[in-house]
Amino acid sequence: MGETLHDLMRERFGVAVPGGEGLPAEGALAAIIQRRSMRRYRPDPLPGPLLGALLTAAQSAGSKSDFQAYSIVHVADRAQQQAIGALMPEMPWVATAPVLLVFCPDLSRGRDACARHGLPFAHDTLDGFINTTVDAALALQTCALAAELTGLGSCAISAVRDHAERITELLALPAGVYPLLGLTIGYPEVPWRVSMRLPPNVVVHRDAYDACGEEAAIAAYDRRRQVREPIQRQRAEDRFGHAPTYGWSLHIARQYAIPERADFAAYLRRRGFSLA
């Protein structure tokens, strides 16, 4: 661990970037900069008071117009958790983590409030979908950061959307609610690496969007990441062939090149989101 936040930032990006100079590598900011996904947990259960505090932290996240348009399902029943884990066997920690939460954008509460007060419900639109999705994502990230600040580890699970229909059934989600992300939480079994991120000059823009120099910066990032975190398996090699040089940008380009969850919009419309 470095002595300053600047040292931690260099570890995060794999190269020195401005910022953090002279600031001690301690406290919440240091923990956030070192945040990492954890996929292997000790079997120790979380104390109930701690889990309650983490869920309260989740509910303390920002919310669009105070809608609080999300719900969190704590999958406490082990058989239920194993049933969800069985849907994604490539992620064995989903079935075995001490805690599994499913974060769900939720229009049902707003729809019920309108019915209760005799008003029409007009937020089953694309904007309403975005509002609920952002609310749920903010709650999950706040919960994950709170877990890390207490010495726990966590991992977000987007694969729940690959099995949205079945998970909707397993969790008895009402109309207007869908599973966005799972979150596993537990005490880390082994330390996990800090994943290298794109440099700030690619992601952070000043005053206006400016992609000047992006191609060269991403090429340099590919090279740095290949040295420190080489990708072990090329994606969709049967479709795209074997690349002699395989970096992050080619890896994500191959993923972008293949449609994912092509039927998800139809599923959302069946769940009560018009997306108009």
Please write the tens of the pLDDT for every residue from 75-134.
Answer: 999 999 999 999 999 999 999 999 999 999 999 999 999 999 999 999 999 999 999 999
pLDDT-derived band at 224, boundaries 50, 70, 90: very high
Residue 175 has pLDDT above 70, yes or no: yes
Q: By three-state DSSP, how is residue 54 classified?
A: helix
Q: Which residues have CB under 8 Å from 33's CB, separation 6+?
A: 5, 8, 9, 12, 20
Residue 1 has pLDDT above 70, yes or no: no
CB 225 within 8 A of CB 196: yes
Quick one: pLDDT at residue 190?
Answer: 85
Q: Is the pTM of this model over 0.85?
A: yes
- Sorted by where each starts, the structural domains of the chain and their CATH numbers stand as 48-192+261-270 (3.40.109.10), 200-256 (no CATH)
Q: Which residues have CB under 8 Å from 271's CB, separation 6+?
A: 168, 173, 175, 176, 177, 178
pLDDT tens digit string along 19-77? 999 999 999 999 999 999 999 999 999 999 999 999 999 999 999 999 999 999 999 99
Q: By three-state DSSP, how is residue 178 classified?
A: coil
Mean pLDDT of 262-275: 93
Q: How many CA atoms within 13 Å lie on the side-chain side of 253?
A: 9
